[in-house]
Amino acid sequence: MPNTKRRRLVASAVAVTLGTTALAACGSSDDGDAQSGPVSLTYWTWTPGMDKVVDLWNKGPGKKDQITVTVKKQASGDTLVTKILTAHKAGKAPDLVQAEYQALPTLVSNDALADISGEVADAKGKFAEGVWQQTTLGTDAVYAVPQDIGPMMFYYREDLFKEYGLKVPTTWDEFADTARALKKKAPDKDLTTFSANDSGLFAGLAQQAGAKWWTTSGDKWKVGIDDAATQKVAKFWGDLVKEGAIDNQPMYTPAWNKALNTGKQIAWVSAVWAPGTLTTAAPDTKGKWAMAPLPQWSASENVTGSWGGSSTAVTTDSQHKEAAAKFAAWLNTDRDALNALAKESGIYPASTSAQLSGAFTTPPEYFSNQADFYTTAAEIAETTAPSAWGPNVNVAYTTFKDAFGAAAKNKSDFTAALKTMQDDTVADMKKQGFEVAE
Amino acid sequence: MSSLALRKAAPAAGTTPGTAQGPPLRRRIALVPTVALLLGALYCLLPVAWVVIASTKSGSELFSTFTFLPGTGFTENLSDLSAYRDGVYWQWMGNSALYAGLGALLSTAVSSVSGYALATYRFRGREAIFNVLLAGVLMPPVILAVPQYLLLAQANLTDSYLSVLLPQILSPYGVYLSRIYAAAAVPADVVEAARMDGANEWRIFTRIALPMMIPGLVTVFLFQFVAVWNNFLLPFIMLSDDEKFPITLGLYTLLEQGANTPALYTLLITGAFLAVLPLVALFLVVQRFWSLDLLSGAVKS
């Protein structure tokens, strides 16, 4: 309560002192939206430290434009999407929401996100094409501004690779050979594990192979989860698990942490945010890891997938869409904002200009041995393959966890699990009333 | 079959049949329930022990040292937790205490009045009301959360303390329990006698029936307190301002920090451990009211 009162007080004080200049400034750039007087926006986000970044806005550009943003910190994940949709049903969704890229089609198909192409079109040039395309869903509309990305990379124990005489794999074939070579030299160790408890990893690997899980043609959706590219990925990992070349235990468990920390597993296919995870999972091996580009399907290729990442979107319930879009653009393209996001929240920015400045001029502490960590990361990020998300990614992800989890545990056929994933996803889309082309 | 025959034959072989074989037989029977109960206790207490021990471990010890080896970081975890976002954890704790304490108190008040009324008065539709309540008992509160959200949204009450308190006040199970308890603990003779002495109905309820119902109401309060304290979905849907979050929701935000950010495990575990303490304390304090059950009773038969 006191908070809102104070905010109103500040806002009206600002209105008196800056009123004339601010209005004059607005008049030229805005196309006459009903934007008179101070605007107050709410923003649902899970990014830690976002309140501090938003403070910069409220004290800087926001103060000038009389747009105050209030952060309401949320828990991330599918549950937040459900919460946004429930709030939207009551017409009470916040002005701004943070949304993972794969959640955008779900939100858009429920008419929860506003098209802000008019306000943020200028920002397009600041992002890699594959990243920006995720916020347009292949249309002329723009439903969000990219915030952070998770280009995938290959992490390995530099010291142990040397000890066992292993070469960093550049193709997936080499990757499989490396796994086998390690098994021969040290049977109790594994190169890595295939884990089914984070679907984003598999989705990213499929994306690298060129899979397009959801596409549209006309009014119809086409689901390509069981396409040739994904089959290739599924078979590759399934075979490795089956022959025992890699482990089949899930990641993010205490046992997994221990395996990384003690060097039982010596590599991890992950994304740019891995240093943070490794810091907590394997504290004793700090400085012993190195990062390399993801292995490729053929030596001539140079693509990577993405695992994680999110965007800032404006809801259709917002009364001040223009102001909200302005904030979303500032948050994800402004130099100071991006520096603060990197410092306070530890995110890897989607904006290409920010990937080499500020916090990203020195490597993460955990990787202090790899001076060019972020230069390499930026180069890898540029090669991110486009992704194609559909309106029921959550269903596909849940089936993935169940079907592939069981297949990994039983070391059974991964392509059968992929078929299940395809069938369940299509069945759910039909149930939801989408037209699906067979 | 044969072993049974053998066992039956055994007493006959002994010099003092019955007395010698009786006690061991009885002890053997008691072994199974004892083991089952011990296993049950272990099943319940092991995770608690895990939380207690894990909360003493620092971030680097958490996953690397032996699971049941106490760590060295408890005070550090505690101060980190208190420092997290300017002590928002204690705000969550306070919110939970408010939701659960006030909510359970109001709920018990409503339950006692309605339960008493349903037990003592005969009126048209009494059974119908009671049956609807019974149906309510069978309805999991989870499925009501979204409709309740949409209703409260129309009244502009979402994202407020009231939005979490209001739906929890009426507890069908509490009313049901109160009715059963009032029917058993408040004899019609006593109510009748009070009426003869000229007490009005409200006075009969507050001065005579209510004290008799206390042990039952303590149970209702406790159940409701635990239910609200552990409730997740209702506050999750109702609240968006994390300063109004109860502890369950707060801990969830520590866990789900986004795919790119590792969960704050040490804070989460320490927070979970502290969140259990009020419930444990409440049970220990309130336990004594249950023994009243045996002593109470106004009519000697």
Q: Which domain holds residue B209?
A: 78-290
**What CATH number has the domain bearing residue B221?**
1.10.3720.10
Q: Could you give the 3-state DSSP secondary structure of residue A225?
A: coil
Provide DSSP, A8-40: HHHHHHHHHHHHHHHHHHHHHHS---S--S-EE
Return averaged pLDDT per consecutive 10 residues of chain A, 438 residues in all.
38 33 35 65 93 94 94 90 93 95 93 94 89 88 94 96 95 96 94 92 95 88 94 96 93 87 94 89 91 95 92 96 95 92 88 86 91 93 89 92 94 94 95 88
Please, are residues B92 and B249 in contact by the beta-carbon 8 Å criterion? Answer: yes
- Give a yes or no: residue B144 inside a domain: yes
- Give the pLDDT band of residue B9 (cuts 50, 70, 90): very low
Residue B296 has a pLDDT of 55
- In chain B, what percentage of residues exceed pLDDT 90? 60
ipTM of the complex: 0.78
Neighbours of B163 (CB within 10 A): 23
Q: Which residue of B has its CA nearest to A150?
A: B260
- Alpha carbons B269 and B54: distance in angstroms, whole number: 7
The span from the CA of B277 to the CA of B96, in Å, is 13
How many Å apart are CA A359 and CA A338, to the nearest integer? 9
**Which helix (H) or strand (E) is A311 found in, with range?**
strand A306-314
pLDDT at B260: 62
Tell me A313's DSSP state: E
User: Whose CA is closest to A309, among A118, A130, A63, A116?
Assistant: A130
**What confidence tier does B299 reach under pLDDT thresholds 50, 70, 90?**
low
Q: Is residue B196 part of a domain?
A: yes
**Residue A317: CB partners within 8 Å, gap ≥ 6?**
A87, A88, A91, A92, A93, A94, A95, A112
Contact B237 A276 (CB under 8 A): no
Closest C-alpha among A240, A230, A231 to residue A176: A240
Task: Check if A1 contacts B (Cβ < 8 Å).
Answer: no
Contacts of B260 in chain A (CB under 8 A): 148, 150, 271, 273, 276, 308-309, 346-348
Cβ-defined contact of B63 to A74 (cutoff 8 Å): no
Q: Which residue from A348, A387, A161 is spatially nearest to A270, judged by alpha carbons?
A: A348
User: Token pair 């049950």 is at which residue?
Assistant: B40
- B300 inside domain: no
CB A222 within 8 A of CB A215: yes
Query: Residue A222, SS3?
Result: strand
Output the pLDDT for position B73: 86
| Residue from A47, A51, A52, A72 whose CB has the most chain B CBs within 10 Å, to mutate | A72
In a domain, B96, yes or no: yes
Cα-Cα-Cα-Cα dihedral of A204, A205, A211, A215, to 10°? -20
Cα–Cα distance, B152 to A352 (Å, whole number):
44
Q: Does residue B113 fall inside a structural domain? A: yes
Count CB-CB contacts under 10 A for residue B24.
Answer: 9
Q: Is the pLDDT of residue B170 over 60?
A: yes
- If residue A214 lies in a helix (H) or strand (E), which one and from where to where? strand A214-217
Domain presence at residue B115: yes
Identity at A318, one-letter amino acid code: S
Helix then strand count (H, E) for chain A reads 18, 10
Neighbours of A167 (CB within 10 A): 10
> How many other β-carbons are positioned within 10 Å of the β-carbon of residue B58?
16
B63 CB neighbours in chain A (<8 A) are 254, 257-258, 261, 281
CA distances from B186 to B11, B190, B197 (A): 52, 7, 17
Q: Could you give all domains of chain A from N- to C-terminal order, each with its CATH number? A: 2-149+308-361 (3.40.190.10), 151-306+373-437 (3.40.190.10)
Q: Alpha-carbon distance A85 to A91, whole Å?
A: 9
Task: Please name which of A77, A82, A211, A212 lies closest in space to residue A137, comparing C-alpha atoms.
Answer: A212
The tens digit of pLDDT for each residue in B66-99 reads 878 888 889 999 999 999 888 999 999 999 999 9
Query: Is any Cβ of chain B less than 8 angstroms from the Cβ of A75?
Result: yes
Q: What is the pLDDT of residues B29-49, one digit of tens each?
A: 688 889 999 999 999 999 999
Closest CA to B289 of B202, B216, B238: B216
* Average pLDDT of chain B to the nearest whole number: 85
Q: Does residue B199 have a pLDDT over 50?
A: yes
Contact flag B64-A309 (C-beta cutoff 8 Å): no
Query: Above 80 in pLDDT, residue B19?
Result: no
Residue B176 lies in a domain: yes
A398 interface with B at CB cutoff 8 Å = no
CA A422 to chain centre: 22
Question: Looking at the 3D structure of chain B, how many domains does it have?
Answer: 1
